[in-house]
Structure 1
Amino acid sequence: RRKVIEEIGLLDEQFFMYGEELDWCFRAKKAGWKVMYYPHAEIIHYKGECS
């Protein structure tokens, strides 16, 4: 949600790969937002590129 980004900011680019999402979720939770995890979500990379 846009309101979350406005409230806690974007991902912190100073974190090494993949750590920034965890930090962002901790900040959202600390700000009172509900953080949910859905283990069955699927993502398709159409260009076949990844980090």
Structure 2
Amino acid sequence: MKVFVTGGSGLVGSTLIDLLLARGDEVLAIDNFATGRRDNLRPHARLRL
């Protein structure tokens, strides 16, 4: 499944992304990095930021 996640670099968003990638989904994430951190997201072939 293709999934769009807003707030992907925050605690909830990055945890959700990890779960989605683990089950095989493709993820497109967006974030303005106002409170989230880019290093919360590890590089992955099925993740676009």
TM-score with structure 1 setting the length: 0.36
Question: Which structure carries more helix by proportion?
Answer: 1
Flag the structure with larger Rg: 1
TM-score with structure 2 setting the length: 0.37
The one of the two structures with greater contact order (alpha-carbon pairs below 8 A, sep at least 6) is 2
